[in-house]
Amino acid sequence: MNRRSRVRAGAVALTVALLAAGCTGSGAGGGVRGTPGAAGVRDPLYPRLGNGGYDVSRYALTLSYDPATGRLDGRAEITAKATQDLSAFNLDLTGLTVRGATVDGAPAAVNRAGNELTLRPREDIDDGAEFRATVTYDGVPETVTDSDGSEEGWLRTADGALAVGQPAGSAAWFPGNHHPSDKAAYDITVTVPAGLKAVSNGVLTSERKTADGRTTSVWHAAEPMASYLATLAIGRFDTTTATALGTVPVLTAVDPVVAAETAALRARLPEILEWATENFGPYPFAATGAIVERDDDLGYALETQTRPVFSASSFDTSTLVHELAHQWYGDSVSPATWKDIWLNESFATYAEWLYAEDFEDTPAQKNFERAFANEAAWAFPPAEPPRAEDLFATPVYRRGAMVLHRIRQELGDDAFFEILAGWPAEHRHGTASTEDFTRYVESVAGRDLGKLWDVWLYGDEKPENPTD
Ligand code: ARG
Ligand code: ZN
């Protein structure tokens, strides 16, 4: 190495060291010594999901998609508040290429390591300060295969694409704090080729033609939303509109191929929502509806906020009841961690049991006994799914619903229905844990229910008989 290049190498090494130490620019704004936010929120099942050091209040996504090439062009504007003095912070992003980033209008340094994107602003951000980060990115978004084998993230469909994100797939189409503990409002603006539609969460605030003949739609989801509940369906859709509960706009979008076979049930959405509010309390959102895709496009249904997504064959009465019930349990009250997912699935399953009790002459007791006899329901305690691949296993749904039925048996119908509506009222638009739930139920009961929790919620063994 000659002298000249040695000097250059030394300068590079110094710059790298300064960058690593977080020194570039820090303190320039007045002596704050921030540290980097954590790369995950230590979720017991998904430790790398989410990020520490800030709270997002709003995502504004501006996207355009071309189904012919599969390419997505995106710009994410993230409004957040620092919860520590920050020298840098992370966003979760799976795949895609980042073209640039700013923080409060100034270019930010970008580093990428796998699914972690690190933004280092020129100046540290003070604890408590609100800031705005923008990320421009593009690429062909990935389909994520979960450890249980199901597909999420960005799915290409026969005529477009579908984004679904439980538990981690939303990072495949926008950078963010992708853990349910950080909920935010969303504004999603999407441009698609002529003849196609883009359907997302919340209220459609505008739909207009661009100069080159494409269509831009703007969706506004005002109430806090966990990122796993964000959705985007692009393709040819037949849409129907109606009004539910007197004031709530209903928008259903369905692949034209399955429009006829799903029409009758789509028309019943308002009456099912009416029944749901009688049992679960006021509907938590400003809009409702459904998106129905072909079976080849998606193999399951998901409770995406305000507008659940279905495959055609999953679009039946009990699944519609299930996904609408999730709007209270899961969407308005979201799990504090992924371990708490039984709080979503138990209530949504119990809603199916209640619906069958009210309209199909099947008492919930009958479904409870069926679930009790189902050996698959006893693989693990619902409050303690051992692995990520167990998130959607039978114990979470069936044994979770059995826990609720045991509460009903123990406390009687009056207290049980008080809990059904009281729990989502207590944590409306927030997040809650299993411990929050057991404490809440005991407060309604006015007594300790430790034995019930030990046996039904946390116990490893199947009880001898269903009244234990
Ligand atoms: N939460 C969905 C339901 O309503 C199921 C989602 C399944 N997703 C998955 N990645 N396995 O039951
Ligand atoms: Zn569910």
Q: Domain locations in the chain?
A: 20-236, 237-327, 333-457
CA distance 341 to 389: 12
Residue to probe by mutation, ligand 1, list 321, 352, 392, most atoms within 8 Å of CB: 392
Helix or strand run (H / E) with residue 7: helix 3-21
Return contacts of 308-317, CB within 8 angstroms, 24+ apart. 309/162, 309/164, 309/231, 309/233, 312/255, 312/258, 312/261, 312/262, 315/258, 315/262, 315/265, 315/290, 316/265, 317/265, 317/268, 317/272, 317/355
Q: Which residues have C-beta under 5 Å from ligand 2, the single-atom ion?
A: 345, 348
Query: For residue 15, is pLDDT > 80?
Result: no
CA distance 185 to 300: 26
From ligand 1's centre to the CA of 167, what distance in Å? 8
Residue 18: per-residue pLDDT: 41
Mean pLDDT of 288-309: 97
CA distance 373 to 386: 22
Q: Do residues 79 and 93 make contact, with C-beta atoms less than 8 angstroms apart?
A: no
Mean pLDDT for the chain overall = 94
pTM over cut 0.85:
yes
Atom of ligand 1 nearest to the CA of 166: 10
Residue 27: per-residue pLDDT: 43
Alpha helices in 333-433 (DSSP H): 342-359, 364-373, 394, 400-411, 413-426
pLDDT digits (tens, 9 = 90+) for 100-122: 999 999 999 999 999 999 999 99
What residue's CA is closest to ligand 1, atom 1? Answer: 302
Q: Which CATH superfamily is domain 333-457 in?
A: Neutral Protease Domain 2 (1.10.390.10)
Pairing type for strands 248-254 and 288-293 reads: parallel
Query: For residue 2, is pLDDT > 50?
Result: no
The ligand 1 site (C-beta within 6 Å) comprises 146, 148, 150, 152, 166, 300-303, 322-323, 392
Report DSSP state, residue 169.
G
From ligand 2's centre to the CA of 370, what distance in Å? 19
Question: Percentage of the chain surpassing pLDDT 90?
Answer: 92
**Does 237-327 match 333-457 in CATH topology?**
yes
Helices (H) and strands (E) in the chain, counts: 11, 23
Phi, psi (rounded to 5 degrees) for 337: -140, 170
Query: For residue 21, is pLDDT > 60?
Result: no
pLDDT digits (tens, 9 = 90+) for 229-260: 999 999 999 999 999 999 999 999 999 999 99
Q: Domain 237-327 belongs to what topology?
A: Neutral Protease; domain 2 (1.10.390)
At 359, list the tokens. Answer: 């309209």
Return the number of other C-beta atoms located less than 10 Å from residue 195's C-beta. 11
Length of the chain: 468
Query: For residue 207, is pLDDT > 60?
Result: yes
Q: Which CATH superfamily is domain 20-236 in?
A: tricorn interacting facor f3 domain (2.60.40.1730)
Residue to probe by mutation, ligand 1, list 146, 150, 151, 302, most atoms within 8 Å of CB: 302
CA distance 292 to 180: 24
Atom of ligand 1 nearest to the CA of 303: 4
Residue 289: per-residue pLDDT: 98
- When pLDDT is cut at 50, 70 and 90, the band that residue 387 belongs to is very high
